[in-house]
Amino acid sequence: MKKLGVLTSGGDAPGMNAAIRAVVKAASHYHVEVMGIQVGFQGLIDGKIHKLTSQEVEDIADRGGTILKTSRSLEFMEETGRKKAFNRLKDLDIDSVIVIGGEGSLKGAEKLQKLGINVVGIPGTIDNDLAYTDYSIGFDTTLNTVLECIGKIKDTDYSHDKTTIVEVMGRYCGDLALYSALAGGGEIISTPERPLDLYSICSKLRLRMSSGKNDNLVIVTERMYDLQDLQHYIEKKLNISVRTTSLGFIQRGGNASAFDRVLASNMGVKAVELLMNGYSGLAVGMKENKMIHKELGCVNSEIADKQDKYRLLEKLLG
């Protein structure tokens, strides 16, 4: 490897900075120069590229967001945009690139590799929706943020005997909702993998209310319902008043958890090692607590088999 570029792309995720730090540190261990590409693939097209030093990344491991900034580049989806990106890399003598991001970003990484650049991807997304890896960078921090928010909502629900619907992020993946419920954050959950229709949500609520539980938390994954429609349906059916809270972008920010920092550090170093050993076209991941890698072409957001987790949930929530 002659010169390495690193970029973050798609939605930011806490821990991306820890991954950047690991990439720069590991590359400097091998005496490879690292160029920071700003604003994702768009910054690559626009030539927003500067040298990243070890000192610059020294104290960033805990910080949320990404010091490199990020974007969802429409131009890179077009062949002409990709050609511009390729020429930028050639002009600067960058032969290898590490892409940190979610599904769309790793698909972009694959496209870059097909142009003849050595590329390795690192999964960075709060959604945890990449089936090839058990965890993506950012998921754990966001899960903890969700649990903190839910805990606060539960305090006021309990005090007023209220039912609240909480909408969490995840795109089309229910992991944030599922793991929140597994961690004791909610009593009824509906996810894209196990969706509940309005009738079933009401039946579950009715059952809980008949046993004297009048404070209830329903966690749903974004994009599944119109929250107001759901609220009004339950209110009408059960004759109770219902609150709704969409946690929104608060879920994406914040200092990275220790788990995410360690995961990101492992992945950053592994990505550099793969490139040093002449590999390309791979994405690093973690399966059963071991670092793994997979061809970029096989990376997708197909929902991983979560049967065991849902079985556990049934035991806990009934």
DSSP SS3 for 230 = helix
Which residue's structure tokens are 């966690």? 219
Residue 24 C-beta: closest distance to ligand F6P, Å: 24
User: Which listed range, 107-115, 119-127, 204-212, 260-268, lies at the site for ligand F6P (CB under 6 A)?
Assistant: 119-127
Radius of gyration of the chain (CA): 21
Relative to beta strand 216-221, strand 33-37 is unpaired
Residue 261 C-beta: closest distance to ligand F6P, Å: 19
Residue 169 interacts with ligand F6P (CB under 6 A): yes or no: yes
Longest Cα–Cα distance in the chain: 70
Check if 127 is active-site.
yes
Strand partners, 221: 168
**x/- map, 239-278, ligand F6P, by CB under 6 A:** -------------x--------------------------
Residue 127 interacts with ligand F6P (CB under 6 A): yes or no: yes
Measured CA to CA, the distance from residue 243 to residue 152 in angstroms comes to 14
User: Which listed range, 38-46, 93-101, 120-128, 187-195, lies at the site for ligand F6P (CB under 6 A)?
Assistant: 120-128
Q: Are 172 and 301 in contact (CB under 8 A)?
A: yes
- Nearest to 290, CA basis, from 175, 173, 135, 182: 135
Residue 301 interacts with ligand F6P (CB under 6 A): yes or no: no
Q: Are 124 and 8 in contact (CB under 8 A)?
A: yes
User: Which listed range, 37-45, 164-172, 300-308, 309-317, lies at the site for ligand F6P (CB under 6 A)?
Assistant: 164-172
Nearer to ligand F6P, 117 or 126 (CB): 126
- Interface contacts to ligand F6P, rule CB under 6 A: 11, 102, 125-127, 169-171, 222, 252
Q: Which residues are annotated as a binding site for substrate?
A: 125-127, 169-171, 222, 243
